[in-house]
Chain A
Amino acid sequence: MSAGSEAGPRAPGTGAGSPAGPDARSRRQLALMLAPYLAGLVGLVLLPALVTLALAFTHYDLVRPPAWAGFDNFTALVEDPIFRIALTNTVVFAVVAVPLRVLLALGLALLLHRRTPGAGTARAAALLPTAVPEIAYGLLWLWLLNPLYGPINQVLRVGGENGLTALGRTPPQWLTDPTDARAAIILVSLFTMGETFVVLLAARRALPRDVYEMAAIEDATGWDVFRRITLPLMAPVLALLALRDAIASLHFTFVSAFVVTDGGPPPYATTYLSLFVYQTGFEYLRYGYAAAATLVMMVLTLAAVLVQWRLVRRYRRFYPR
């Protein structure tokens, strides 16, 4: 990638180890250290996932034994208008929120990577929402978005009359208008980009300083520096983070939709796949059906990952080692 980071990401241990025998030993040690994680992964993630996959082909209500259903659940999903809405909502959310989240994180990282007074505090502030427990974070937003008494709309109404904004418009109806509510969910998700922010902060700091000094001597404008240097140098990291965010976006709608909008405004403006799965599975006890929806979600994730991976690989060709 860059001259500065060449030395950095070399995996520890690749060069370690004395010549004879210890290869097998270190491998054994590695396996031993990985064992607890692997056991947890298999027991708590893989097995349940496989069971879920299997249950997608059954009628199962969590109470009575599962009965084989073949592709019944999937045909039902195709015809289920709520599922279609949830699917659309999910895709639209990912398409809008993921780039916005990454861009916000990038903007903040570029703004705050320098050692300037207050930068540390600002960095902590940017991280803070990610550290708040999800439910509490959701409840906080429920208050922030309150259409009449919430601080956001209070601020928007400053300078306006009769409950209108200064521009004479109705302030956003966060919890009652479908479009505004979807925007609200995206807004809520934006501020939890702390992890992405931290990674980008580290990535930006790892970029060689002299390259930027070079650009300064050549009188490159801020925009030129961003476009021609920073962005291309950080592109691999950005792509990876976008990928990760796209996967995560399938579930980080859950708490906000569950706590803030309850899937509404009616009928299903903010019902995302995660909420749909939860409702059908645990509220309506249609676990097999929910499992089928989960399977669709996983396939979707996989598709998103593959598409992005191909894009990343195409880009990677520019960086021969």
Chain B
Amino acid sequence: MTTVRSKSLLAAALCGALAVTGCGSGVGSSSQEQIKLLVFGAPEELAAYRTLIDAYEAARPGERVQLVEASDRKDLLARLATSVAGGAPPDVFLMNYRFYGQFAAKGVVEPLDGRIAASDAVDPADYYPVAMDAFKWHDQQLCLPQNVSSLVVYYNRTLFARYGVPEPKPGWTWNDLVGTATAMTRDGRGLVIKGTEAEGAARLPAVHGLGVEPSIIRLAPLVWSNGGEIVDDPDRPTRLALDSPAAREALKSLVDLRLAYGVVPSDAEVEAEDDESRFLNGRLAMLMTSRRATTNFRTITGFDWDVAPLPVYQRPVGVLHSDAYCMTRGSRNKDAAWRFMEYAMSADGQKIIAATGRTVPSHIETSRSPAFLDPNLPPRNSQIFLDAIPTVRALPTVSTWPEIEDLSYGILENAMHRGDRLDDVIRELDAKSRPVFARGENG
């Protein structure tokens, strides 16, 4: 079977079976003008992109952008892959650097160096280098980072005030975090309670001290801060390597939050109400997550909240969270796509998205402007996102990283909630990740 035929057959198959959004409209004449932007996100985030598109279309008459909305990250990956296979990919898509590797490696993404060099609007020096670097594949700039977020601790100030517990301060340590979380884990009467005896026992915590998901991206900054590594070789990783004393200690600290201190909700409690909802409902004192949660938390009216930097283990290190606009190589309208990207990356475009609270702008100037730092919009302390940028590190870029995250999540979840032996956990992470890394390609 020849390549061409199998591809066209597959395209037909996918068209029928999946009703891929891109499929079928490729032949339309209107696509000459209109470009497609594929994104996913919560309703507020999608609204932000619509605002951006409206502003763009108003500023540049004649340009038209169609927003293609995926329901979640996995849906976006599937849509992107199938539409590329079907020969009608979106012109631009937004993707996290942790997941773009497989598309970068497979040549789906159009390198932008030439366009950047020729552009009056985009100057790489205007953007945080750590974000720009995360989207370089074999020294080519493939995508343009829209944001540069890092992990922070959101906390419920009203709860802290009620229980008289000091709020987290910059420079606080892991031990401070554990102590604070313990002091904030309370039962229905407001008394300090240890959540470990929870399962079916006398009293369940009404407020948990901390929410943190047992994932590799939450664990990584902890390990780094303790002077360890999560993989054997950050440039050419071949396995998840948490067997160093530093990494092992960090892993133990993470699972102890549940197993020893009981300050994070149990797995059943998380299934019943995820951490973000728990925080929204005032039942979680602190939540470790990225800037993404801000949009959602701005709907909170019942209490006051703010953000604090990640606690320090040995030295301050953050983990990079960044999404970027990528252009597909199969785009039929690359110039129009580029014009949109230029606008989205410009100070105007970045301000529109920043105003929704969703992002820490990758555009340095915008990030220091009131568009991001406006003290009247929570969190008051947005500055700490910027303060963390010099210390953030990116996760390894390897094309099979999504699989690494999925498989490690299951193992780490069992470590934290089922209490699997750490040696077994570390060995399993090592053994299971090896074949996946082996299949991967590095950027």
| Contact across chains for A175 and B85 when beta carbons are under 8 A apart | no
A47 to chain B: closest CB distance in Å?
6
Contact of B267 among A81, A176, A267 (CB under 8 A): A176
Specify the main secondary structure of chain B where it touches its partner.
helix
Is there a chain A Cβ closer than 8 Å to B271's Cβ? yes
Complex interface: chain B residues within 8 A of A284 (CB): 102, 400, 402-403
Q: Contacts A62-B84, A267-B414: A283 and B74 contacting too (C-beta < 8 A)?
A: yes
Give A289's nearest chain B residue, CB to CB: B439
Interface flags, B396-417, vs A, CB<8A=1, else 0: 0000101100110111011001
Interface flags, A241-281, vs B, CB<8A=1, else 0: 00000000000000000000000111110000000001100
| Contact across chains for B410 and A285 when beta carbons are under 8 A apart | no
Complex interface: chain A residues within 8 A of B125 (CB): none
Complex interface: chain B residues within 8 A of A282 (CB): 74, 77-78, 81-82
How many residues of B sit at the interface, in one of the four size bands? 35 or more
Is there a chain A Cβ closer than 8 Å to B200's Cβ? yes
Contact of B16 among A44, A146, A147 (CB under 8 A): A44
Q: Which of A54, A62, A162 has the most CB of B within 10 A?
A: A62
Is there a chain A Cβ closer than 8 Å to B169's Cβ? no
A156 to chain B: closest CB distance in Å?
12
| Contact across chains for B268 and A283 when beta carbons are under 8 A apart | no
CA A48 – CA B17 in complex, angstroms? 9
| Contact across chains for B272 and A147 when beta carbons are under 8 A apart | yes
Interface flags, B69-91, vs A, CB<8A=1, else 0: 00000100110011011000000
Is there a chain B Cβ closer than 8 Å to A63's Cβ? yes
Complex interface: chain A residues within 8 A of B9 (CB): 47-48, 51
Complex interface: chain B residues within 8 A of A283 (CB): 74, 77-78, 402, 406
Is there a chain B Cβ closer than 8 Å to A163's Cβ? yes
| Contact across chains for B410 and A267 when beta carbons are under 8 A apart | yes
| Contact across chains for B102 and A148 when beta carbons are under 8 A apart | no
Complex interface: chain A residues within 8 A of B12 (CB): 43, 47-48
B245 to chain A: closest CB distance in Å?
26
Is there a chain B Cβ closer than 8 Å to A151's Cβ? no
Q: Which of B17, B271, B406, B432 has the most CB of A within 10 A?
A: B271
| Contact across chains for B200 and A149 when beta carbons are under 8 A apart | no
Is there a chain B Cβ closer than 8 Å to A308's Cβ? no
| Contact across chains for A54 and B81 when beta carbons are under 8 A apart | no
| Contact across chains for B409 and A266 when beta carbons are under 8 A apart | yes
Complex interface: chain A residues within 8 A of B108 (CB): 63
Q: How many A-B residue pairs have CB under 8 A?
A: 111
Within 8 A of B (CB), among A141-171: 146-150, 162-164, 170
| Contact across chains for A63 and B85 when beta carbons are under 8 A apart | yes
Specify the main secondary structure of chain A where it touches its partner.
loop
Complex interface: chain A residues within 8 A of B54 (CB): none
| Contact across chains for A43 and B16 when beta carbons are under 8 A apart | yes
Is there a chain B Cβ closer than 8 Å to A87's Cβ? no
A257 to chain B: closest CB distance in Å?
13
| Contact across chains for B84 and A175 when beta carbons are under 8 A apart | no
Q: Which of B107, B266, B273, B403 has the most CB of A within 10 A?
A: B403
Complex interface: chain B residues within 8 A of A52 (CB): 13
How many residues of A sit at the interface, in one of the four size bands? 35 or more
Is there a chain A Cβ closer than 8 Å to B163's Cβ? no
Contact of A266 among B107, B266, B410 (CB under 8 A): B410
Complex interface: chain A residues within 8 A of B17 (CB): 44, 48
Interface flags, B139-179, vs A, CB<8A=1, else 0: 00000000000000000000000000000000000000000
Is there a chain B Cβ closer than 8 Å to A173's Cβ? yes
Give B83's nearest chain A residue, CB to CB: A62
Complex interface: chain B residues within 8 A of A47 (CB): 9, 12-13
| Contact across chains for A285 and B81 when beta carbons are under 8 A apart | yes
Complex interface: chain A residues within 8 A of B413 (CB): 264-266
| Contact across chains for B268 and A64 when beta carbons are under 8 A apart | no
Interface flags, B81-125, vs A, CB<8A=1, else 0: 110110000000000000000110011100000000000000000
Is there a chain A Cβ closer than 8 Å to B1's Cβ? yes
Told that A63-B85, A66-B6, A170-B199 touch, could you supply 14 new A-B pairs with CB distance under 8 A?
A44-B17, A62-B84, A147-B269, A149-B272, A149-B273, A150-B272, A162-B203, A176-B271, A264-B410, A266-B413, A282-B77, A283-B78, A284-B400, A285-B106
Closest 3 CB pairs of A and B: A266-B410, A48-B13, A148-B272
A–B complex contacts, Cβ < 8 Å, 13 sampled: A43-B12, A48-B9, A52-B13, A55-B10, A61-B102, A65-B3, A146-B272, A162-B201, A162-B203, A164-B200, A266-B410, A282-B77, A285-B102
